[in-house]
Structure 1
Amino acid sequence: MKVIICYLSYSGNTEEVADLLKKQLEAGNFEIDMYSIGYGAVPNLFEYNLIFLGTFTWDKGSTPEEMKDFAREVGDKPNNVYIFGTGDTQFGGDDLFCNAVNKLARFYNSDYPGLKIEQSPRGSQERLVSKWLEGVLEHAEGKNIRT
């Protein structure tokens, strides 16, 4: 099964989540491609069984412009997208925490809850990543996406 993990990261937190997902998926014998948004040609997402999109939340709940540009470049919306992101509750509190995850999930009509990580996925938050990924794989299997 082909999987792509596309992510946008300035501080490295979202990239850390992407790397954790990659490591765990590799253990399951998935074929993984990584794409750092803004670097190189945008891949054809329709070649993948599962698509993971990761972003941080910017400017009091906003989606970064690079992520919006990426979505425009992709064009049509694939239906096998799972969203993850990082944020910081000190900028906008719980109401705006990882709001870019919510926005992307709505944009891609994702019917599985996005993963929201406070800053870095280290420590106990690594378990949140693992648990979320397990749920994604079960969800994809239920939708008859080959896992």
Structure 2
Amino acid sequence: MKNMTKAVVVFATITGNNEDVADLITDALENLGVDVDEKEITMADVADFEDADICVVCPYTYDEGALPEEGLDFYDDLKEADLSGKIYGVAGSGDTFYADDYCRAVDDFGAAFESAGATKGAEYVHIDLAPEGDDVDTLDAFAASLVEKAVGK
């Protein structure tokens, strides 16, 4: 029987790094037999997660810890949503230059998923700048963990 697990991967990007992160996660999920819909955050709605088993957000952190401007409504809607029974993951690119604010949006979106009642399917992934080398393995493991949680629930 074919695995009918569905995932929605939403990303916000300025430099293209988080689109790369989202593409790597999408590829990894598809390689695991998941049906994936990848969307840029301005083209997405939290309601898109309603038909998904796995919900992923790949946000960038702007300046000193700010959420993506174009993703603020999405973030607010996410906190108010009911995503009980959904498995979530958050991964994003940041710049270690910002020290304490490095990838803060990843953690903030994770907290929003918690507020929505979703179940954490993998540890949050913080990537310094563009994903490369070991980051690809980390994102593959991230995707595998999400699928394992979703299929095992």
| TM-score, L = length of structure 1 | 0.84
Report percent identity of matched pairs.
25
Instruction: Judging by fraction of residues, say which structure has more helix.
Output: 2
Gaps of 5+ in 1: none
Deviation at 1:25, TM superposition (A): 1.3
Give me the whole-angstrom Cα distance separating, in 2, the residues matched to 1:132 and 1:31: 16
1:54 to 45, 58, 61: 58
Deviation at 1:73, TM superposition (A): 4.6
Give me the whole-angstrom Cα distance separating, in 1, the residues matched to 2:66 and 2:31: 34
Gaps of 5+ in 2: none
Q: Please tell me whether residue 101 in structure 1 is matched to residue 106 in structure 2.
A: yes
Following superposition of structure 1 onto structure 2, how do residues 100-139 of structure 1 map, counting pairs within 5 Å? 100-109=105-114, 111=120, 112-139=122-149
- Counterpart residue number, 2:10: 6
Contact 2:20 2:130 in 1 (8 A): yes
Structure 1 runs of 4+ aligned residues shifted over 6 Å read: none
Give me the whole-angstrom Cα distance separating, in 2, the residues matched to 1:107 and 1:70: 10
| TM-score, L = length of structure 2 | 0.81
Following superposition of structure 1 onto structure 2, how do residues 8-47 of structure 1 map, counting pairs within 5 Å? 8-39=12-43, 42=45, 44-47=48-51
The CA RMSD measured in Å over matched residues stands at 1.9
Give me the whole-angstrom Cα distance separating, in 2, the residues matched to 1:84 and 1:141: 20
